[in-house]
Amino acid sequence: MRTGSRRRHDPGPAAEALRLVKVRKTYGNDDSAVTALDGITLSLGRGTFTAVMGPSGSGKSTLLQCAAGLDRPDSGIVRVDGTELTGGGEAELTRFRRGRVGFVFQQYNLLETLTVAQNTVLPLKLAGRRIDRRRAEDVLASVGLGDRLGHRPDQLSGGQRQRVAIARALVTDPRVIFADEPTGALDTRSAREVLRLLREAVRVHGRTVVMVTHDPVAASYADAVLFLADGRLAGRMEAPTPDAVAERLAHLGDEAERRAQLGDDLTAGV
Ligand code: ADP
Ligand code: MG
């Protein structure tokens, strides 16, 4: 049911969760250099759920790493929740990352020797914040793992591990959550649970989620999809449906092929 009271505010700078301006990132040097991001400019509003899609190697993970402050772009500006990440020192960046962003990886990245509760509060510990047992219990209950606090990761299914990873990403109350193929290793049912949790983080708790995925169904949980090809933005789709996303993806492949073909033709003429 629509209440009619949820008006969208003007997307002024204050409503911006993430802004990238002309972000470039190259790996390697000179003859072996690979341009992973080739001048990305984008803006995402607070309280939005965005999927990032594109062929393998198109720069999706690099985009997330640079946006989350896990990696530094060669040039350009990254601003999260109004704070510029680029330009500051390493300590400052680490402090910011620990306090304001959450990250969920495809392979969970849990520490096997720690319990579920200990894994969950690890970001608080690293940030030197008070470890609130109650907070861990609450956040684990919210992902359906309130009865697994003392378990170790190897006693959990893949879907449960990923839910611990989501709890860990939520525990610091981050403004933005970045997820890189969070459902990539999961069965359909566990994937759906993880996607529902991410959507709930946005809808109920007003967080901003940016999620890389290969799966058109996963992308359809988002408000919008950004398409990436060769390190550049190649389009945006609002209110994505699985069919529309799949069609656009196939088309993206066509375009890349056409460009490669054109390149071949040009060099053949030289
Ligand atoms: P995606 O996540 O879309 O598959 P990535 O962001 O992982 O793409 O990679 C983009 C490009 O950058 C690829 O060509 C990849 O090989 C290259 N790349 C990514 N990380 C590194 C790295 N650490 N060292 C060298 N090249 C890298
Ligand atoms: Mg990747």
Cβ atoms within 10 Å, residue 22: 13
DSSP readout, 90-149? HHHHHHHHHHHEEEEETT----TTS-HHHHHHHHHHHTT----HHHHHHHHHHTT-TT-T
How is domain 14-265 classified at the CATH fold level? Rossmann fold (3.40.50)
Would you say the C-alpha torsion 264, 24, 90, 45 has a positive or negative sign? negative
For residues 97 and 70, the answer to whether their CB atoms sit within 8 Å is yes
For residues 227 and 237, the answer to whether their CB atoms sit within 8 Å is yes
> With bands split at pLDDT 50, 70 and 90, how would you rate the model's confidence at 217?
very high
Residue 262's Cβ-side half-sphere holds a number of Cα atoms within 13 Å equal to 6
Please give the backbone phi and psi of residue 177, each rounded to the nearest 5 degrees, phi first: -115, 125
Record the pTM: 0.89
What b/e string do you get for 158-194 counting C-beta neighbours within 10 Å, with b at 16 or more? bbbbbbbbbbbbbbbebbbbbbbbbbbbbeeebbbbb
What pLDDT, in 10s, does the model give residues 48-60?
999 999 999 999 9
**To test the ligand 1 pocket, which listed residue (27, 52, 58) has its Cβ within 8 A of the most ligand atoms?**
27
Nearest ligand atom owner, CA of 106: 2
Mean pLDDT, residues 245-251 taken together: 93
Predicted pLDDT of residue 115: 96
- The mean predicted confidence, pLDDT, of the chain is 89
- Counting every residue written for the chain, the total comes to 270
Nearest-atom number in ligand 1 for the CA of 65 is 6
Q: Name which residue sits closest to atom 5 of ligand 1, judged by CA.
A: 59
36 Cα to the center of ligand 1, angstroms: 6
DSSP readout, 149-211? TT--GGGS-HHHHHHHHHHHHHTT--SEEEEESTTTTS-HHHHHHHHHHHHHHHHTT--EEEE
For residues 96 and 127, the answer to whether their CB atoms sit within 8 Å is no
Predicted pLDDT of residue 50: 98
Q: Name which residue sits closest to atom 15 of ligand 1, judged by CA.
A: 57
Which residues approach ligand 1 with their CB closer than 6 A? 27-28, 34, 36, 54, 56-62
Tokens of 143: 């992902």
> With bands split at pLDDT 50, 70 and 90, how would you rate the model's confidence at 6?
very low
